[in-house]
Amino acid sequence: MSNSKNNEAGYYILEPNLLPAYLSTIPNISDHIGNCDDLSITEIGDGNLNYVYKVSSRTDDAKSIIVKQAVPYLRMAGEAWPLGRERMLYEIRALSAHNDLVPQFVPTVIHADEAMSTVVMQCLNEHIILRSGMIEGVEYPNVGSHIGHFLADTLFKTSALSMDSAKRREMMHRFTLNTELCKLTEDFIFKFPFQPHESNYSNPATDRWVEENIHTDERYKTDVLHFKQLFISKAEALLHGDLHSGSVMVNEHETFVIDPEFAFFGPISFDVGKIISNFILCCTAHCERNGGKHYQDWILSQIPVIWNTFESRFLELWSEKTDDSTLSEKSLLSDKGLGDFRTRFLIETLQDAIGFAACSMARRTIGIAGVADIRDIEDVAIRSKLEIANLKLSKHLMQSRSEITDIDALSRTLLDFYSENSLWGKRV
């Protein structure tokens, strides 16, 4: 780790030996980690962008916190790939917003330091990354409903359905300049995977299929461009912005959503579609993984749980609104008229979520950042079979999305696809 970028006012890189002194300046930090002179410090890393440390009391491991700092380059690539540490500004702001909106689903922020691009937060000692758990075939009884609840509360409450006009624009203003990470999404989700690009993943059999069935499919690519346009211009609510199964930590009882550094005002359907796509990708993986059909059935059962919880909670929040928000027009429409507007709103959200899920599935298959669910399968032929299945399903969902008007229709579409393409695993 280098100190060469330490020269900006009020910022220095928190080498492990500097952590105790830094932490000791935080009021009441001893409540969380005891004596700052007696700490155990472990770098755990989030792998890609930042430095992440677990800091614990040497005498009581239950007393632990997480320290996360952004450095002005891409952590996985080193200083040769500069990346503004402003991203931490947006993570801090989104985490604070989520702490206000859904404290039960996000780590508690103990200390946020914009100048140092650092956040100190609750350590989730008893939870694991959802992706890892799902690769192992673990069924989490609450995860679907928790995710649906998280989506509804964070998205409804930061939309014009809930916020008044000025407050919403002021909040939007605090996220509009998250330009670098928005640009990453624009390129790595909506562009590079759909054309020959040096950053793309390569697996010969998959590559051939992609050349013949993705690069040549103008209709599909035009649909992708439509969703890029939505991503760019539909400033609907404060999104998490990167809600995949690696951004969720779980155990049997609890669910936490972490890493909202991609947060900005975008389409509600983007967050919804992205997390659903991660469930689908894992479902395909278990055709060949140990979970088999039994676990695939569980995953597919969770997608309607996510949606139905999201929908019912969203409608509950909507019906509770009085007329002080920008779009909850109780004085304008009758109950019937409002009901129709709500129905239309949610059908459009579902259909757009399916489109975004389709984009995400292709990106996670062809693009640079594949999902471990599939990429960690060593047998190239098996991997390619699953990759092509996910790409076929992406195309199928993109094309049929406008006929899917409720979540049961999505479930049937998925079930039929797995059956027709013999994608059920052995364990039943």
The number of residues in the chain equals 428
- Beta carbon of residue 196, minimum distance to a copy of itself (angstroms, whole number): 9
> Which region among 121-129, 136-144, 174-182, 352-360 touches a copy of itself (by CB under 8 A)?
174-182
Which of 89, 47, 78, 51 shows the shortest CA–CA distance to 67? Answer: 51
Is the separation of the CB atoms in 75 and 261 below 8 Å? Answer: no
> Which region among 38-46, 89-97, 290-298, 326-334 touches a copy of itself (by CB under 8 A)?
326-334
- Where is 142: in which H helix or E strand? none
- Beta carbon of residue 374, minimum distance to a copy of itself (angstroms, whole number): 24
- Beta carbon of residue 51, minimum distance to a copy of itself (angstroms, whole number): 25
Is residue 368 part of the contact set for a copy of itself (CB under 8 A)? no
Chain positions 273 to 312 lying near a copy of itself, rule: CB under 8 A, are none
Is residue 225 part of the contact set for a copy of itself (CB under 8 A)? yes
Is residue 74 part of the contact set for a copy of itself (CB under 8 A)? no
- Which residue(s) pair with 51 in the sheet? 69
Alpha-carbon Rg for the chain in angstroms: 22
CA angle centred on 325, ends 324 and 331, rounded to 5°: 65
- Residue 300 Cα to chain centre, angstroms: 19
Contacting residue, 31, 37, 198, 218, with a copy of itself by CB under 8 A:
218
DSSP string, 176-203: TT-HHHHHHHHHHTTTGGGS--TTS---
Q: Which residue's CB is nearer to a copy of itself, number 268 or number 389?
A: 268
Is residue 169 part of the contact set for a copy of itself (CB under 8 A)? yes
- Beta carbon of residue 168, minimum distance to a copy of itself (angstroms, whole number): 8
Is the separation of the CB atoms in 6 and 38 below 8 Å? Answer: no
- Beta carbon of residue 342, minimum distance to a copy of itself (angstroms, whole number): 10
- Beta carbon of residue 382, minimum distance to a copy of itself (angstroms, whole number): 30
What is the dihedral sign for C-alpha 326, 332, 338, 344? negative
> Which region among 47-55, 75-83, 188-196, 364-372 touches a copy of itself (by CB under 8 A)?
188-196
Is residue 128 part of the contact set for a copy of itself (CB under 8 A)? no
- First CA to last CA distance, the chain: 49
CA angle centred on 18, ends 17 and 21, rounded to 5°: 120
Is residue 87 part of the contact set for a copy of itself (CB under 8 A)? no
DSSP 108: P
> What residues make contact with a copy of itself under the rule CB under 8 A?
160, 165-166, 169-170, 172-173, 176-180, 182-183, 186, 191, 194-195, 218-219, 221-222, 224-226, 228-229, 232-236, 326-327, 329, 331-334, 336-337, 340-341, 344
